[in-house]
Amino acid sequence: MRRVASEYEAHRRQIIQGGWQCLLLDSAVPGRVYGQLPQSELDFLESSLAEHPELPALITLHHHPVDVGCDWMQPIGLRNREDFWQIVDRFPQVKIVLWGHIHQEQELNRNGVHLMATPSTCIQFTSGSSDFSVEPLAPGYRWLELMTSGEFSSEVGRANDFEFELDQNSSGY
pLDDT digits (tens, 9 = 90+) for 132-171: 877 877 888 899 999 999 999 999 988 888 676 766 666 6
Predicted confidence at residue 84, as pLDDT, reads 98
Predicted confidence at residue 43, as pLDDT, reads 98
Considering the chain, what is the average pLDDT of its residues? 88
Predicted confidence at residue 91, as pLDDT, reads 98
pTM confidence score: 0.88
Q: Select the highest-mean-pLDDT range: 15-24, 68-77, 160-169.
A: 15-24
Strands 113-117 and 94-99: parallel
pLDDT digits (tens, 9 = 90+) for 6-19: 887 777 899 999 99
97 vs 72, residue with greater confidence? 97
